[in-house]
Amino acid sequence: MDKKYQPIIGMEVHVELKTASKMFCGCKNDPFGAPKPNIYTCPVCLGLPGALPVANKKAIEWTISLGLALGCKINLFSKFDRKHYFYPDLAKGYQISQYDLPFCYDGEINTSFGKIRIRRIHLEEDTGKLIHSTINNKKMTLIDFNRSGVPLIEIVTEPDIKSASQAKEYAKKLFQIIRYLDISEADMEKGQMRLEANISLQIQNSKTKNQNNQLPNYKVELKNINSFRFLEKAIEAEIKRQEEIINEGKTPTQETRGYNAEKNITYSQRAKEDASDYRYFPDPDIPPIKISESWFESIKKNMPENYDYLLSRWEKEYGAQKSTLSLLFETNTQSKWLDGLFSYFKKQNLDTKKLINFLVNKKIKVNLFVDNYQKIISVFNQSISTSQIDEEEIDKAISQAIKENPQAVLDFKSGKKNAINFLLGQTMKILGKKTDTKIIIEKISKKIF
């Protein structure tokens, strides 16, 4: 594959933490559950002058847990900084964020195409929410401060991503790890996880091909993408747009762009700021954060087993594939429950691989994480005895029956419904075992049409 342009992509992902209270005040952190706008507010999160912020300990611990899960180094001495910009949803005129001492830095995340380096993870606060609506025939913008001050982490990668599909895989893996740590619901429809991609194209010729250190002199930030699928499509559309500009001999403008899913195009939103435009300085109201040795140890002790290690261990011990296993659970509480179930099965010499496949394909009706293990064993054993033959064997037999009886297939295709009974009989004969005929009939007709 010889491509003319190599996409260079870095990602910035914002995630709202699901702490009970907000980042710097005691207000309830539940903007989606709130019965009315502007009820979970106080002088701190409304940005009233003189109100004093106090940092949320749990939010700091969870940020560090994510950092540890991604192999980051941790700044045990850290601080919060003010990031200044004007927008109506930001009452103070600045966002409390972290500038030069983020809690976590220099980590990595494993993907099928290699490691993606994590540059930093910092902790900040979310803004209020603007609601554009029409009241009494007048267009208005309303502000809801229930979300103002909700703890927000930002995960920034190095520009190690080379395609839209890689960006999607990275975002999915990050989502899985955040759900596993159980520090956020990360529901993208609710804006609890928000994806941004920085994209530029590197012109490739034989000389520079193996030199990735020369980065392009511009980048375009794609903002506010709220699904994995849109992330992939938006990046593809943006790559195409930049290719066309470069082909005309021009350089794309450094700017922030949005994505219009209906038209499948990106559109310009505003020129991109430099860090200096934000006039960062340490927040004088919040003392620096010192993580003591004992506090750090207790955070480490409360970490669940590493997500990748867990899947590798399960693959080895229980015989199912990692990709299959990852479909069965989200949080570490759930994985611990499953771990218990699998080892209970194994101790009784039952087929854990088969159980896992049954659970993933919903072939047995059980309440995961609720039913007791013994009940699941009996449901499993029951279903095993009624369908001893596996899918592969049935599919093979059907293919053979179809191949050996072309006339019956033609008859069935031309509308003679009875022909399927003949094919069923032939399939059963090849199988040589009793099994659910309804399933086989379904399968035969699916195969023919």
- Bridge-based pairing of strands 129-135 and 138-144 is antiparallel
Q: Which stretch binds Zn ion (CB under 5 A): 17-25, 198-206, 245-253, 378-386?
A: 17-25
Smallest separation, CB 258 to Mn ion (Å): 17
Q: Which stretch binds Zn ion (CB under 5 A): 10-18, 34-42, 193-201, 321-329?
A: 34-42
Paired strand residues for 268? 257
Say which entry of Zn ion, Mn ion, none residue 197 contacts (CB below 5 to 8 A, set by partner kind). none
Of 183, 189, 181, 195, which is closest to residue 18 (Cα–Cα)? 183
Quick one: DSSP state of residue 103? S
Contacts (CB under 5 A) with Zn ion, residues 151-180 = none
Q: Which stretch binds Zn ion (CB under 5 A): 27-35, 53-61, 255-263, 354-362?
A: 27-35
Residue 173: in which H helix or E strand, if any? helix 164-181
256 φ, ψ to 5°? Answer: -100, 130
Smallest separation, CB 149 to Zn ion (Å): 6
Cβ contact 126:92 at 8 Å: no
Give the separation between CA 267 and CA 367, rounded to whole angstroms: 46
Give the separation between CA 87 and CA 100, rounded to whole angstroms: 23
Give the separation between CA 316 and CA 217, rounded to whole angstroms: 46
> Within a 13 Å sphere around the CA of 353, how many CA atoms are in the beta-carbon half?
8
Of 108, 124, 119, which is closest to residue 59 (Cα–Cα)? 124
**Residue whose C-beta lies closest to Mn ion:** 154
Q: How many residues bind Mn ion (CB under 5 A)?
A: 1
Q: Is the CB of 154 or the CB of 238 nearer to Mn ion?
A: 154
Contacts (CB under 5 A) with Zn ion, residues 387-406 = none
Q: Is the CB of 81 or the CB of 154 nearer to Mn ion?
A: 154
Smallest separation, CB 134 to Zn ion (Å): 30
Say which entry of Mn ion, Zn ion, none residue 25 contacts (CB below 5 to 8 A, set by partner kind). Zn ion
Site string for Zn ion, 314-343 (x = CB under 5 A): ------------------------------
Q: Is the CB of 154 or the CB of 339 nearer to Mn ion?
A: 154
Site string for Mn ion, 150-179 (x = CB under 5 A): ----x-------------------------
Q: Is the CB of 20 or the CB of 203 nearer to Zn ion?
A: 20
CA angle (258, 115, 167) in 5-degree steps? 20
Q: How far is CA 373 from CA 334, 336, 342, 370, in A?
A: 14, 13, 9, 9
Smallest separation, CB 11 to Mn ion (Å): 13
Say which entry of Zn ion, Mn ion, none residue 154 contacts (CB below 5 to 8 A, set by partner kind). Mn ion
CB-neighbour burial class of residue 392 (10 A; exposed 0-12, middle 13-18, buried 19+): exposed
Contacts (CB under 5 A) with Zn ion, residues 41-60 = 42, 44-45
Give the separation between CA 380 and CA 286, rounded to whole angstroms: 56
Of 176, 209, 169, which is closest to residue 197 (Cα–Cα)? 169
Smallest separation, CB 40 to Zn ion (Å): 7
Of 315, 221, 313, 202, which is closest to residue 267 (Cα–Cα)? 221
Smallest separation, CB 154 to Mn ion (Å): 4
Q: Is the CB of 25 or the CB of 171 nearer to Zn ion?
A: 25
| Out of 23, 27, 193, 235, the residue judged to bind Zn ion by CB under 5 A | 27
Say which entry of Zn ion, Mn ion, none residue 355 contacts (CB below 5 to 8 A, set by partner kind). none
Site membership for Zn ion, residue 25 (CB under 5 A): yes
Q: Is the CB of 1 or the CB of 275 nearer to Mn ion?
A: 275
Cβ contact 189:161 at 8 Å: no
Show the tokens assigned to 311.
């899947």
* Residues that bind Mn ion in the complex, under the rule CB under 5 A: 154
* Residues that bind Zn ion in the complex, under the rule CB under 5 A: 25, 27, 42, 44-45
